[in-house]
Structure formats: structure tokens, C-alpha cells
Amino acid sequence: MTIERPKADVVICGLGWAGSVMAEELTRAGLNVTAIERGAWRDTSTDFPPAVDPDELRWTTRRELLQPMSVETTTFRNRMDQTAAPVRNWSAYQFGWNVGGAGTHWAGMSWRFTPWDFEVATQTRERYGAAKAEGLQLQDWGVTYAEMEPYYDRFERIAGTSGIAGNINGEIKPGGNPFEGPRAREYPTPPLKDTFWMREFREASERMGYHPFTLPAGNISQAYVNPLGVTMGPCTYCGFCDFHGCGNFSKSSPQACILPALMRRPNFTLLTETEVLHAVKHDDGKTAKGVKFITKEGEEGFQPADIVIITAYQMDNVRLMLLSGIGEQYDPATGKGTVGRNYTYQTCGTVNAFFSDKYTNPFIGGGALAVQIDDFNGDNFDHGNLDFIGGAGIMGYSTNGRPIQNMNNLRPGSKRWGSAWKEAYTRDYNQGAGIFIQGTSMPVRDAYLDLDPDYRDRHGQPLLRLTFDWNRNDQNMLRYLTDRSVEIMREAGGEDMIVENQAEESWNPYKQHSSHTIGGAVMGADPTTSALNPFLQSWDVHNVFVVGASAFPNNGGYNPTVTVGALAVRAAQAIHQTYVNNPGPLVKG
């Protein structure tokens, strides 16, 4: 017996950041929206209040807010000649498994991408010549930073982002990031305060002629009422942000920013603990008629809708397109097909060090509590004599002082067990500090996603297969950036440095610092190289929209969330302002 639900104007598959933003826009415009979320309802005061939230063992170590990889996973291999195997633990994969999605457990780093990131193909060719991009599968996004600005602004207002502007309408502002794209106005809330280490990093990088600024943060600095009438509370610098919820309504998240308003709207329906299996197309294949789902109890059902919006995590967005037959699978041998194309990641390194006779007090923390320089990010510096494009943000960060997580962060040569270890940890916990290098990731032909030929999930559907390793460009970039970071750490006075360049050995999902899996269902102006048009509408099935970091054709040296939110606002407005009145392709291919 299958459940046949009443028809909705719009069905949203996955209620994380992207789904919540879309649902809010579309219900406010009067559309009847049903959202389907595989995870359970999660709420601030009942699931992670301040007395429960700092449970490091439960949330960070056991990762109870994340997709359990024993239930649902992805297979992985480095090269096409290998056989992929399912990933059984987490590091690179931090998918949400609850209402709010990964937006509930993210750290809160709230970046806009640079103008260059959106036009990497054109800008690289124009500045350095076509040869510079050889071996890379560069392509523009089909939307410029200038076009994105109002949507960035809208998402930041919803999220309450704390920060200090560096460029307002072309005017460079002291204290902000002089390299950022022009903003229409200041951030909604002022920047967070400096910790000891942030101040040291700021002063050291300034002495070296760089331009430090406080990171834009979704751990907000003061109480704030957003345009939806939802109030957020001030961050307490507790440092239990990534992998955790936020107990005091301070972290930008669907729970703290959108759901209180959305859930009360009579034209919004939410099905929790219900998983979308795939979309179902009409017989002519030109449009979708709804989605097939399965409940926690194993009952299958169908949700009819005029518009299908896929807003799962990046990996699941690509997988749902493939399982639904929306668009053609990308083939790295021929370059044909677009779904699965341009998978990228985030190229990262760390430089940790210790400060004798100083207290770094890492228990004062925040997911996005950091000072950064962007002097070596994107195309902010001349690559003419360098063997790569792109770059990274270099940040001195104070994200957390979680006692379990930091147990291994000791001076080189320290014992790792017994009383000698305890002594070392007592000393080093309070003297350690770190630099994080968060770099761009450029697409190449043989980094892609497809359906695994061997492994299936508990519903009998093929797992998604990732084929990925670091490419030469990104390795060269990180080597250069790591050297710059070591120089800053040395200038700051850090001793006993521990340097980790993640791209020095083959990529594997168990050892990564970043959870930013990107691309695979990318946007663009050319239907032969992109699965989606610049409004995130499928080129092939026009009533399907796919929203997430899956749409980025390349990754910037930044966290993807705010760009995902801005793209979601833009796509939603295109739907209710244009598409519903005249259903069909919003862009001619």
C-alpha cells in the first residue's frame, strides 16, 4: 500500500539551509510547500540547550547530529582504475541527518566568495593566458558577483552575520577585508572580539604588511532580530559549535533563523523521518510530477507537486538527480554528460605552534572566531610567476578548546600516554595555537561523481561513487600557501611548529580537516558543460531545481554556506517571480 499525498505546488527534498531558505521565500510568496526531510525534528531548547550542548563525547566524538555512515554512505576511490569502497567513518563527510541539516551543526564561517571565483575561466584566460588553465576544467558560473550581491545581502540579514566590511560600494574600509567584493552595506551585527591568539596573529600579519580582519561569523556578536521577525541571542564564546547545535540561539542556523517563522505558516507542511527515494518524471520526460518517498516505518509514498526542489547535501543532490534520471551522467572519457561533472573539494593545511609562558586560553572559542588575511586568496595576488591559480585564506583561529579533541595537539616529541602525556597535555592545552589554510579547489576531468556499480543502500538504490585525488594545481597552491603561513607563525613567535599540508599525500576521506564537498551538479550558461542553468534549474527537466554547493563549478578559498544561501534566495525568487507565471526554461540553452 503506498501513501498518496495531496498535491503541493512545490516539494522540497531536504530541509537544511537551502531547503529552509527556499521554503521561506516560496511560502511567503503564497505557494503551497511540502518539505520532506529524512532526519528527525531538532529544536534548540529540547535537543541541545546550554546544559546539553557542550557534551563533546556525544556530539563531536560520536557525531550524533551527523548522518550515520553505517546506515547511508558514499563509496570512494582516488583513481578510475581502482575499485571504490564504502566510507565507514567520518571526516570529510559531515552530512546532516535532522531538520536543519548540516546548518544545525556547522561552525558558522560566513563568507562571500570573491568576484574572481564566479568567473575563474574568463579571468584566468584574460590575465594569464589560456595556457595557465591547462589540465583544469575551468568554467564560469553564469552569474557574477555583482549579480549575486543582493542575494548575499538577503541571506546575511536572515543569518545575522557578524563582521566588519572591507569594501562598501567600492570604498575600502579600515579593519575589513580590502579584497572582498563590494558590499551594499555593513554586516548586520558587529565583529566578534579577539582572543589572545587572534590578537597575536593580527599584529604579526600586520607587521608583515598583510591585511588582517575578523572573520564574518555565524556565531553572532549581539542580540539581533532578522527580517523574518526571529530573534537571535549573543554568542557566549563557548566553543561548542561545529558538530554541535547552539543552545543559546546564537549560531546562524535554520533553527535559530528561519524555522520559528516557517513552521507556523499554514501553507507549509513538513514530513520528518521520511526519505525521498527519487523524483518521478511524466511519461514525456520533460517535467517531473513529484517524488517517491519512504517513511521511517518503511511505507512508500508519492508526493505530487508542480515543482520539485532538491536541497539535500551536495552529494545527495547529485545522487538524487542520477537516481531520478534528470540530466545525463558525466563521462570523464568523452567529456559528455553533465551530472557528476566538476567535483571539487577544499585544499587545506594547518600550522600549529606553542607559546611558552603565555596562556592562549583556547576554551574561549567560537566556530568562526578567527582573524584572517586574504592577501593570498583567489586571484588577490599575481600568479604570473607561479605554477598554479587560486589560493587560500590564512586564518589564526580560536574555534574551540574541546578537551577530548585537543588531547593529541601536543608539542612534538611528547609522550602519548600515561602521566607524561597528562603533564604534556596540561602544559600544551593552554599554550597551543593554530593557523588554518583554507584553499580553493579547481576542477579536473577525472574528479567526478557517478552511481556505484556494486554497492546499494538499505532501500536497494545504488550508492554514489566519488573519484577524487588532489590535482597538481591545488598541490602547488597549497605548498606556496603553507610556506606563507609558516612565515606568519614564525613572526608571531610560535615555537615547536607542526606543519600539515593535506595535499602531500593522496586524498582520503578519513583524515580531512574540511567537510566541504563541492560540485557534481554545477550551474553555468552552457548546457553541454553544466547540469543547471544560472537559476539552478535543470537544463533537461525544467520544473526541477537543485540547490546547494553541488552547483559550484569550482570551490573558493572559503566555506560554502553563505554562497549556498544566496543562490537559494536567488533561485526561489526566480521561481515565484517568473517560473510559476510561465513554467518553462528560465534561460535559453
For the chain, how are helix, strand and coil distributed in percent, rounded to 5? Answer: 25, 25, 50
- DSSP annotation string for 199-266: HHHHHHHHHTT---EEPPBSB-SS-EE-TTS-EEPPP--B---TTS--TTS-B-SHHHHTHHHHTT-T
Q: Which is nearer to another protein, 51 or 131 (CB)?
A: 51
Least distance CB 46 / another protein (angstroms): 6
Q: In the window 49-78, what residues touch another protein (CB under 8 A)?
A: 49-52
DSSP-derived secondary structure letter, 131 = G
State yes or no: residue 193 binds another protein (CB under 8 A).
no
> Which CB sits closer to another protein, 249 or 313?
249
Beta-ladder partners of 433? 353
Residues numbered 212 to 241 that lie near another protein (CB under 8 A) are 223, 225, 228-231, 233-234, 236, 238
Q: Which region among 106-114, 156-164, 256-264, 530-538 touches another protein (by CB under 8 A)? A: 256-264
Rounded Cα–Cα distance for residues 558 and 392 (Å):
8
404 is a site residue for another protein (CB under 8 A) = no
Least distance (Å) from another protein to the CB of residue 236? Answer: 5
Residue 212, burial from CB neighbour count under 10 angstroms (0-12, 13-18, 19+): buried
Q: Taking CB under 8 A as the rule, does residue 248 contact another protein?
A: yes
Integer CA distances (angstroms), 538 to 63, 334, 530, 589, in order: 34, 21, 9, 11
Q: Which of 58, 513 has the CB closer to another protein?
A: 58
Q: Does 44 bind another protein (CB under 8 A)?
A: yes
Name residues contacting another protein, limited to 452-491 (CB under 8 A). none
Interface with another protein (CB under 8 A), residue from 46, 334, 419, 582 = 46
Nearer to another protein, 212 or 218 (CB): 218
CB of 100 to another protein, least distance (A): 15
* Strand pairing category for 288-295 and 300-310: antiparallel
Phi and psi, residue 268, nearest 5°: -120, 130
Closest C-alpha to 477, from 348, 309, 588:
348
Q: Give the closest residue to 544 by CA, choosing from 534, 532, 553.
A: 532
Helix (H), strand (E) at residue 320 = helix 314-324
Q: Cell numbers at residue 265, please?
A: 505558516
CA dihedral sign, ordered 305, 306, 311, 316: positive
Which span (39-47, 132-140, 377-385, 444-452) binds another protein, by CB under 8 A?
39-47
The interface region with another protein, picked from 18-26, 162-170, 259-267, 557-565 by CB under 8 A, is 259-267
Q: Out of 244, 278, 516, 576, which one is annotated catalytic?
A: 516
Residue type for 519, please? Answer: G
Identified binder of another protein from the candidate list 103, 176, 247, 434, rule CB under 8 A: 247
In the list 3, 32, 41, 43, the residue contacting another protein (rule: CB under 8 A) is 43
Active site residue 282: no
x-or-dash string of contact with another protein, 129-168, rule CB under 8 A: ----------------------------------------
Provide, rounded to whole angstroms, the least separation between the CB of residue 255 and another protein: 10
Q: 545: which strand partners?
A: 309, 537
Q: How far apart are CA 176 and CA 374, in angstroms?
A: 11
Q: Are strands 3-4 and 300-310 parallel, antiparallel or unpaired?
A: parallel
Total residues at interface with another protein (CB under 8 A) = 24
Q: Report the nearest approach of another protein to the CB of residue 51 (Å).
A: 6
**Closer residue to another protein, CB minimum distance, 43 or 203:** 43
Binding to another protein by residue 369, rule CB under 8 A? no
Write down how long the chain is: 589
Q: Which is nearer to another protein, 270 or 353 (CB)?
A: 270
Residues that bind another protein (CB under 8 A): 43-46, 49-52, 223, 225, 228-231, 233-234, 236, 238, 247-249, 260-261, 264
Q: Catalytic site residues?
A: 516
